[in-house]
Amino acid sequence: MEHTATLLSLMAFPDIDPVIFAIGPVQVRWYGLAYVIGILLGWRYARMLVENNRLWPASGPRMTALDIDDFLIWATVGIVAGGRMGYILFYDFAAVSANPVRAFEIWNGGMSFHGGLLGTLVAMILFAYKRSIPVFNLFDVVCAVVPVGLLFGRLANFINSELWGKLTDVPWAFVFPNGGPFPRHPTQLYEAALEGLLLLAVLAWLIYRRQALMRRGLVAGFFVTGYALSRIFVEFFREPDVQIGYLAGGWLTMGMVLSLPMLAIGLWVVITARSRA
């Protein structure tokens, strides 16, 4: 009873309505606003990077601010379409197979980062080919700004009271409205800190202090590696999706499975970046 009382005395979830405002049947949600803010801030940061001549080699093909402007639409389609399809394929395939209409019910599960990454990857390859841009240059710029979107997206997950963690009695735990009566790890905030703030700072340091954009793929490789390590770490505290649960003996999660190939690819891109200088 004493342990239960201690758990219940920890932090309650802040009373934040996921819907900012509604006009008739149309609702504006924090989750959607987070995507818009993340994409727009990422676009502005990307323009700053391509316009800073000191960050790039003196010779060779270069992207322009106009390229970044035009790629914004491609990136948005890749993120939204890839993120939704990735969630369906990786996390909700059985339910969608039984009821295909569920694929359009974005309130029943949302977006997958790994799916959004694949969608953006396809968009980057096609756009780079069309504009005759070195594809690794585009990878570097996009990966440098992705943590901005991840930061706002994870904060929106927290507001939505979703993707919470396992039961715990740490002082910073929260009692989530749809997570049962006991406190849980706020894994959305862990990811916002690691995949958003920390990764953004590390990549900015590499770009501005270590001239990382001089070696094609170095920034992209560090981002993919950093994200994979962060996600695998947080998965140890995060409650797995109820429709999937744990894999391989009760400790491996789908998030870990999808991040392991990312880790291998990211390390390979970092190691081979010098050959693309």
Q: How far is CA 154 from CA 186, 188, 224, in A?
A: 10, 5, 17
**Rounded to whole angstroms, how far apart are CA atoms 223 and 138?**
13
Span of 53-67, 106-120, 121-135, 155-169 with lowest mean pLDDT: 106-120
Residue of 239 and 250 predicted with greater confidence: 239
CB 244 within 8 A of CB 91: yes
- Record the tokens describing residue 89, joined without a space: 């394929």
Query: In this model, does residue 108 exceed pLDDT 60?
Result: no
**H or E segment to which residue 231 belongs:** helix 218-235
3-state secondary structure of 111: coil
Note every long-range contact of 45-54, with CB atoms under 8 Å and residues 24 or more positions apart, other chains counting.
45/144, 45/145, 45/148, 46/141, 46/142, 46/144, 46/145, 49/141, 49/144, 49/145, 49/207, 49/213, 50/141
Residue 28 confidence (pLDDT): 87
Distance CA 199, CA 119 (A): 21
Helix ranges restricted to H, 58-181: 65-91, 93-98, 113-131, 135-159
Computed over every residue of the chain, the mean pLDDT equals 88
Cα dist from 80 to 45, 111, 187, whole Å: 20, 8, 23
Provide the pLDDT for residue 181.
87
Tokens of 88: 């369906």
Over 50: is that where the pLDDT of 1 sits?
no
pLDDT tens digits for 207-248?
Answer: 999 999 999 999 999 999 999 999 999 999 999 877 788 887
Q: Which of 230, 261, 255 is nearest to 240 (CA)?
A: 255
**At residue 2, does pLDDT exceed 50?**
no
Predicted confidence band of residue 9 (pLDDT cuts 50, 70, 90): very low
pLDDT computed for residue 117 by the predictor: 85
CA 112 to chain CA centroid, nearest Å: 8
Q: How far apart are CA 260 and CA 30, in angstroms?
A: 30
* Residue 78 three-state SS: helix
CB atoms closer than 10 angstroms to residue 144: 25
The pLDDT tens digits of the residues spanning 36-92 come to 999 999 999 999 999 999 999 988 788 999 999 999 999 989 988 888 888 877 777
Buried b (16+ CB within 10 A) or exposed e, 184-220: bbbbbbbbbebbbeebbeebbebbeeeebbebbbbbb
Does residue 148 have a pLDDT over 90?
yes
| Total-model pTM | 0.86
